[in-house]
Amino acid sequence: MSSNFLLYGANGYTGTLIARLAVQRGLRPILAARNAEKLAPLATELSLEYRAFSLDDTAATDEALADVPLVLHCAGPFSRTSKPMVDGCLRTKRHYLDITGEVSVFEAIASRDAEAKTAGVMFLPGVGFDVVPSDCLAAHLKRRLPTATRLSLAFQIQGGVSRGTATTVIENQHKGGLVRRDGIITPVPAAWKTRQIDFGQGQVEATTVPWGDVSTAFYSTGIPHIELYMPVPASRRRLMLMSRYIGWLLAFPPVQEYLKAQIQKQVPGPTDAQRTQGSSLLWGEVEDDSGKKLVSRLQCPEGYTLTAMTALAIVQKVLGGQVAVGFQTPSKVYGADFILEIEGVFREDVN
């Protein structure tokens, strides 16, 4: 089995975590990004090859992909970077993985299923915290209640966020919410619903968010009605409600530039100590038309740690030949129990 693959965006917060864990696991990723100066120190530290190229340069992208079996794409915002990398994977017939959580990106890649099948490659976006644990939880719940027509998922992150994650939030905060109704992704107002959810540590109030599973859980389960929830502080929920009325202002380029500049003044992401002490809790509920409901929960490592672990577990499966061509979701390829292969993950069926 080959041990190398292209890790694009390796100098970012999450990319660096993945690169270091990959070496610990005996993999030899080829590190890649736009800026050689930022990439070289990490490559030297890990004794890895690196390649610097812009995704705008078609020839350079194709050359960089020429001798690797797959790409793990970690350079966001994926709304801008995923298409050129997917295009490159189609031209060079390479498998594509990424760590996106953006509904629009999942849908854009899903629309290219036929192209991927023609090229004989797999497109598997969302191999990190979003959406591996929640996708596997959704598939498990569907397995428990095959007649389910409604799916609610929720997640609670205990730990900080990276600058990349914060930037993606800023870029999308004016767009409102999303749910799936009758199989169709449907816009709803920001903070559309709240409900009480028990992640295993008592009831907390959670609010609807446009999480990636609004897209992927439908492909994994076929359930037509899907909602995603997340506990948010009262101050954050007030801002979400305000965005219904000032979305135009939040989308204004000078405001976007200002907010992103403030993000860049922050630390890159959670420290090693914060990640070690943190955790990720997930909850899911399915209901069928007779009113029957079932609930299951997951307890997982901290989100960025989990992203590195699940992404590399999938990389190793792809390198070992476990591939299904076309657009895929984690549970469609590797099953609802894949998440239980990850160290530190526990699943509980509540009823």
**Which architecture characterizes domain 132-303 according to CATH?**
2-Layer Sandwich (3.30)
Q: How far apart are CA 248 and CA 245, in angstroms?
A: 8
Indicate the residue type of 153.
Answer: L
Q: Is 179 helix (H, G, I), strand (E, B) or coil?
A: strand
Q: How far lies 330's CA from each of 302, 312, 334, in Å?
A: 19, 13, 6
Question: Could you tell me the strand order of the sheet in which 326-327 lies?
Answer: 50-52, 30-33, 6-8, 70-73, 95-98, 122-124, 326-327
Residues 6 or more apart whose Cβ sits within 8 Å of residue 5 = 27, 29, 30, 68, 69, 70, 71, 72, 315, 319
pLDDT of residue 3: 61
Phi, psi of 315 (to 5 degrees): -55, -45
Peptide bond into 318 cis (omega under 30): no
pLDDT of residue 1: 44
Domain spans of the chain, in order of start: 6-129+305-335, 132-303
**Which architecture characterizes domain 6-129+305-335 according to CATH?**
3-Layer(aba) Sandwich (3.40)
> What's this model's pTM, rounded to 2 decimal places?
0.93
Per-residue pLDDT of the chain (351 residues; tens, 9 = 90+): 456 899 999 999 999 999 999 999 999 999 999 999 999 999 999 999 999 999 999 999 999 999 999 999 999 889 999 999 999 999 999 999 999 999 999 999 999 999 999 999 999 999 999 899 999 999 999 999 999 999 999 999 876 666 666 566 666 666 789 999 999 999 999 889 999 999 999 999 999 999 999 999 999 999 999 999 999 877 777 777 778 777 766 676 886 786 667 867 777 777 878 888 889 999 999 999 999 999 999 999 999 999 999 999 999 999 999 999 999 999 999 999 999 999 999 999 998
Phi, psi of 205 (to 5 degrees): -85, 130
Q: How far apart are CA 222 and CA 183, in angstroms?
A: 8
| Tokens 């809790």 belong to residue | 281
Check if the beta carbon of residue 21 is closer than 8 Å to that of residue 83.
no
Peptide bond into 41 cis (omega under 30): no
pLDDT of residue 270: 79
Q: How far is CA 223 from the centre of its chain?
A: 20
Q: Is 163 helix (H, G, I), strand (E, B) or coil?
A: helix
Q: Compute the C-alpha angle 215/311/269, nearest 5°.
A: 90
Residues 6 or more apart whose Cβ sits within 8 Å of residue 341 = 313
Check if the beta carbon of residue 337 is closer than 8 Å to that of residue 329.
no
pLDDT of residue 257: 80
